[in-house]
Amino acid sequence: MKKTFVLVVLFVLPIVAYLFFASGVTNFGRLPILRERILEIPNGPDDIRFTNKITVLGFLGSDVQGRKGNAFNLNQKIYKRFHEFDDFQFLMVVPNGTEAAVSDLKKELSNLEETDKWNFSYLDEESIQTLFKSLGTNLNLENDLSSPYVFIVDKDLKLRGRTNDEDEGVKYGYNTSSVADLNNKMVDDVKIVLAEYRMARKENNLDR
């Protein structure tokens, strides 16, 4: 009996524990979908799209320099950590006519990190408003068409976020004015979405 007990403790319990935790990752390690499908970026000369990319979406507005601090926070806390993933991108929506200001911002950002995953889409006011509303959030754009919040959009144009955030309840976006919000919440949530797609890719390869 003693030998049997020892064998159970040494071999069976670790396997049971592994299966328990592995199933927990599969079942619970997913970031909730808050909106099933948002609008795609309108066709333009730069051909920037959401489809097939995990996107951090932001709205810098007409005062790009005024949002420079937000962009730097985002660059240091999120972009720097995740930009090497092939399917990952930043997409900042800005009004037409801000091209010079965006060029200056990219030059400043490039002093900190390469900026090949920083994409900018230039849209008219109506298109920006329509895109933002398609997110279905409880947030609003400022008068200059900017927002301090950024959003996680997956490859299927689904808005991701939290349904039971301890501070906000439903968390649609991440406040780039708050380093704590980026560090303590957004980093974890981006990790989860990236892990989901890595896991799905491995499962597809196994099926083949």
Q: Which two tokens stand for residue 103?
A: 């060029």
Percent of the chain clearing pLDDT 70 (strictly above): 82
Residue 158: name the closest of 42, 40, 46 by CA.
Answer: 40
92 found inside a domain: yes
11 domain-assigned: no
Contact predicate 124/130, CB 8 Å: no
What is the rounded distance in angstroms from the CA atom of residue 6 to the CA atom of residue 56? 51
Instruction: State the pLDDT confidence band at 203, using cuts at 50, 70 and 90.
Output: low
| Within a domain: 7 | no
Is the Cβ–Cβ distance between 63 and 98 less than 8 Å? no
Q: What mean pLDDT comes out for the span 96-117? A: 94
Q: What rounded mean pLDDT belongs to the chain?
A: 87
pLDDT digits 0-9 by tens, 35-47: 999 999 987 666 7
Overall number of domains in the chain: 1
Mean pLDDT within 176-190: 97
Amino acid 20: pLDDT = 41
Could you give the CA distance from residue 85 to residue 82 in angstroms, rounded to a whole number?
Answer: 6
Residue 15's pLDDT is what? 53
Domain extent at residue 177: 33-207
Q: Using alpha carbons, list the distances in angstroms from residue 55 to 21, 92, 95, 170.
A: 29, 10, 19, 20
Check which CATH number belongs to the domain holding 108 and give it.
Answer: 3.40.30.10
Stated length of the chain: 208
Q: Of all residues in the chain, what percent carry a pLDDT higher than 90?
A: 73
In this prediction, residue 8 carries a pLDDT of 46
139, 149 in Cβ contact below 8 A? yes
Residue 147's closest CA among 55, 37, 66, 202? Answer: 66
Q: Classify burial at 43, counting beta carbons within 10 Å of its beta carbon; exposed 0-12, middle 13-18, buried 19 or more.
A: exposed
